[in-house]
Chains A and B, each alone.
Chain A
């Protein structure tokens, strides 16, 4: 501890160089925070998926429908606690850019399968009793400034009503919260009955079923039992856990993880050179000073440690600043990825990266400082 002022003084020996090196590292960790943050936000969507829930979709692809009659047959499978059903509504609000994740559902079944959604009792009752009623997640409602009681027109790109129009109107009767996973607050649910009676084609068909199993340990078994039930029928099913389902979907978009890894690898590769060169220069210039320290009684190991601490201080301090900037900047990505803050794990990873970087760039100059022979060093 008593050497901290010494490390501090060494760092600011050449102000300009230290400042620019610091800034290079800050910038690299800003990028690390943002990119790794996005990456881990996507991973979290998958990790937070409920292990109790299964998705039963058509085996050809989840865009193919399933008959409504499967509902009672799935319910009768042992181990199934609740079943809900959803359809892909594919609407936008006012402008094609404002895509909304909206689903026609049976309100009571939906509530049983998604207990984490918190909707006030009177709003839930209103949904049950209003044919054109709908509920929206808190984040979605805030995004478009919707209030309970508003009449919301959505244009479906798929479903046409019997009157030939694709414009559907809903009465917003409730707004729900999902404290355990705010990313879920971006959806919109409305009554299936209204949807099924008004749509002009494909009536009685369901997009997919969501099954709540009574014992998560048996979910694989239950999934296999459901698929067996419909094997060799006209619409075979493929049942996967919610987690597998979301993983498969994210993978289809592209390998985000791989792209982020490539970019960060490139960033840290160049940072290794920038910081490494600074450390080398810093030690080279201080050869006489280091020799004096050794003359004063510093052991070889102490000198080695001194250089390593110098590099550690530089990297960790800059990394803290960079990650801090990333945390401050992260909320602006909310619309794109649905979460408002950088996952804390990224911060920890960042600090570990900084320590690794410090070790990698500091070790060669530190060894050189350790091996200095006093007489020769002083003579130079």
Chain B
């Protein structure tokens, strides 16, 4: 019953395509960064030319996302399954979803200013994926052969993408409200201040972060429940405080705290923004350190 076919050649092509996407992300990132610095310029003539750069950046980002998507699909075809069964694959799929949601959100909300962050973040993730997490295509171990892999992991990746964008907004908010940014006389901080002045107003950043976080939280709650249902099938108990289960719980609890903070007097603003950032740091920790170094049943990094 060896029906699984793995296509190593196609996987190699997929890797090349993803590397190509990284190149285009680099251009997009540079365009956005340059755009921000031009906007923050004190010279009017420089500022006037900036919007063209931004358009170039957006076009580059769309191109990068398209190539990225092709690479991801090829990876799935080469393994004849969904492309999210090890860390390399989560990384390429997760970062694709981040940029996809970002581009989708752009059509509804003007959040162009965090494009620098999105392009830079994807570049970073893909870079780490390509150099540290890369594994050859592998067949699925029996515990992963389940439609829950499709549902549970996809929703987890989706939730992470929403939390990611929310964290970017919260970080912008925290910079904008930080006293040292407001008062420092250093030249570099002055430039930062001018860049930040371009961002939406503080309350608007806060509210947008909140909206991305609530979607993230609903999806994460679903992830947790779906994970428990799957664990009941595969490991004969729905919850066993396995390291990965522990961290899913911790992240859920932090974001529940975040939602409470938004409704508690004296906890809005900076404190809740910090909680959002801490929640996202916990997600990154869960994905990297816990996957690679902690012992548990969820050993699927695919790395030795």
Please say whether chains A and B are actual partners in one complex: no
